[in-house]
Amino acid sequence: MTDTTAANTYSGLDFNAPLSDARARRLADRVAAAGPGTVADLGCGWGELLLRALESCPAATGTGVDTDDRLLQRARAAAERRGLADRAEFTAGPADAVRGPFDAVLCVGADHALGGTAPALRALSGVVAPGGTVVFGTAVWERTPTAGELAAMWPGATADELPATADVVDAALDAGFRPAWIESANGDEWDAFESGYLSDWERRAAACADPAEAAALRARADTARGWWLRGFRGVMGFCYLTLTAPAG
Ligand SMILES: C[S@@+](CC[C@H](N)C(=O)[O-])C[C@H]1O[C@@H](n2cnc3c(N)ncnc32)[C@H](O)[C@@H]1O
């Protein structure tokens, strides 16, 4: 995946995941269908999916938690702009310190913050209220990468570092959930996600007064584009599970 650790303004992205507006709306509507009063987003980033969920659930309050306060500032500003500031709270801190229960919990692209896929699903089962809803999104292999594809990805990429969607569903079942909906990011969502990162770097390089810094940014973009186009494009997927917690 594109190097998300590089300093990045993310201005070219609506979500820090391969997620279209249309799919985000469907996810938010599925959360809203159960009429939650409280929604949490663990590893919320700039909180766009939480804000969409609150727009779909006019009676709900939301709590977004992330360790990156710069992203939370963008979340708070967006909440203010959209008239959601009185219902959305964004708190800096680790996801594993969050205590529920919440009627709905979102965790998209942030399962590493809870120890990886299976530990995260177990942790989420302790944060969501009985009968509540979890939206869980995580990277998967769509198929086993070839040795050539792995060699073109980030250094040290291995075939066993990501699960398949079926493995994620098994881990959700093991954690006590029932799957309500299973879906995957499509090629257009991946292209928009990766291009969003890369175009941000290109814009920053173009605006950079220091030629050496601009060259470094372009070099990073070239490396990341190679990982994507020669390595994981069409091989790495991203599944979104809408899960129902046991009634208790
Ligand atoms: C790939 S981004 C996903 C953000 C958001 N869920 C979205 O879909 O736009 C992962 C997020 O997890 C956050 N994160 C990393 N470690 C964390 C931790 N221990 N606790 C909370 N958030 C964490 C990062 O700052 C980042 O915003």
Write out the H or E segment, with its range, that includes residue 106.
strand 102-108
Does residue 123 share a domain with residue 45? yes
Give the structural domain span for 124: 21-186+235-244
- 31 in any annotated domain: yes
Q: Calculate the alpha carbon distances from 187 to 138, 142, 163, 194 in Å.
A: 16, 11, 19, 11
- 124 in any annotated domain: yes
Contact 182, 241 (CB under 8 A): yes
- Counted domains in the chain: 2
Q: What is the mean pLDDT of residues 218-242?
A: 97
Cα–Cα distance measured from residue 92 to residue 72, given in angstroms and rounded to the nearest whole number:
7
Interval between CA 52 and ligand 1 midpoint (Å): 17
Name the pLDDT band for 9 (thresholds 50, 70, 90): low
Does residue 128 share a domain with residue 90? yes
Indicate which residue's Cα is closest to atom 7 of ligand 1: 16
Residues 100-126 have pLDDT tens digits of 999 999 999 999 999 999 999 999 999
Does residue 161 share a domain with residue 67? yes
Cα–Cα distance measured from residue 216 to residue 151, given in angstroms and rounded to the nearest whole number:
23
Contact 157, 139 (CB under 8 A): no
Interval between CA 110 and ligand 1 midpoint (Å): 5
Interval between CA 134 and ligand 1 midpoint (Å): 16
- 2 in any annotated domain: no
- 168 in any annotated domain: yes
Cα–Cα distance measured from residue 123 to residue 126, given in angstroms and rounded to the nearest whole number:
5
- 8 in any annotated domain: no
Residue 2: the pLDDT is 42
Interstrand relation of 102-108 and 128-141 (parallel, antiparallel or unpaired): parallel
Does residue 110 share a domain with residue 65? yes
Does residue 211 share a domain with residue 105? no
- Ligand 1 site residues (CB inside 6 A) read 4, 15-17, 43-45, 48-49, 65-68, 71, 94-95, 108-110, 113
- Pocket residue to mutate for ligand 1, from 3, 13, 16, 63, most atoms within 8 A of Cβ: 16
Write out the H or E segment, with its range, that includes residue 205.
helix 187-207
Contact 71, 93 (CB under 8 A): no
pTM attached to this predicted model: 0.95
Cα–Cα distance measured from residue 232 to residue 220, given in angstroms and rounded to the nearest whole number:
17
Side-chain-facing half-sphere of 138: CA atoms under 13 Å? 30
Does residue 216 share a domain with residue 136? no
- 16 in any annotated domain: no
Which residues face 126 on adjacent strands? Answer: none
Residues 52-102 have pLDDT tens digits of 999 999 999 999 999 999 999 999 999 999 999 999 999 999 999 999 999
- 84 in any annotated domain: yes
